[in-house]
Amino acid sequence: YLCIAADAGLKNAQTLGIRVSVVVGDFDSLGARPRVDSDVEVIAAPAEKDETDTQLAVHEAVKRGADEIVIIGGLSGRLDHTLSNLAILESLCEHRIGAYITDGRNRARFVKNDSLLIANEGFRYLSLIAVDEKCRGVSVEGCKYPLANATLHRKNQYAVSNEIEGNCALVEIKRGGVWIIESND
């Protein structure tokens, strides 16, 4: 696998003992250009740029042929960055690249016009947040509160705080896009 750290994500990776191949960003969070082993590629970006460091890291992963991306971090802290990171999932879905983002307490994915089998991996809650104005044909099986061919509305979210009852849940969205969020918060 290829591990790309975005700016201060390098410190987090080092703390977790994760081997990083590439470091990207403007390094404002690190405070200086990172000092890394000679086999670690450093891609510096100007501080005044149009993309976040996470976006730069994801673009680099896609450029290098990634067909699945896991973003670690990026769900807590600044709300603007959190929302931007969730939008990255939508963009990756449009390009048929599997992706999710996690901070250990939450895991988020974006699904549009598709189904997803979700293993029960210790998250307490499972929520579906409509991104499109209306999401039609939404079904959820294997949860405390099943749905069958429901319509979710972006302005009136009600598929929040469900619970997987067995080994897995099946979520299907016939038309529209939703963020699927598993949470322990």
Give the whole-angstrom CA distance, residue 130 versus residue 150: 12
Handedness of CA 70, 72, 75, 79 (dihedral sign): negative
| pLDDT tens per residue across all 185 residues of the chain | 899 999 989 998 989 899 999 999 999 888 778 888 889 999 999 888 889 999 999 999 999 999 999 999 888 778 999 999 999 999 999 999 999 999 989 999 999 999 999 999 989 999 999 999 999 999 999 999 999 999 999 998 889 999 999 999 999 999 999 999 999 96
Give the whole-angstrom CA distance, residue 23 versus residue 106: 24
Looking at residue 149, its pLDDT comes to: 97
Could you tell me which residues are beta bridge partners of residue 4?
22
Nearest to 18 by CA among 44, 36, 38, 42: 36
Looking at residue 97, its pLDDT comes to: 97
Give the whole-angstrom CA distance, residue 42 versus residue 87: 25
Looking at residue 117, its pLDDT comes to: 97
Nearest to 84 by CA among 130, 62, 51: 51
Which residues, in sequence order, are CB contacts of 93 under 8 Å at separation 6+?
99, 110, 111, 112, 177
Could you tell me which residues are beta bridge partners of residue 23?
5, 42
Looking at residue 161, its pLDDT comes to: 95
Looking at residue 31, its pLDDT comes to: 79
Looking at residue 78, its pLDDT comes to: 85
Which residues, in sequence order, are CB contacts of 11 under 8 Å at separation 6+?
30
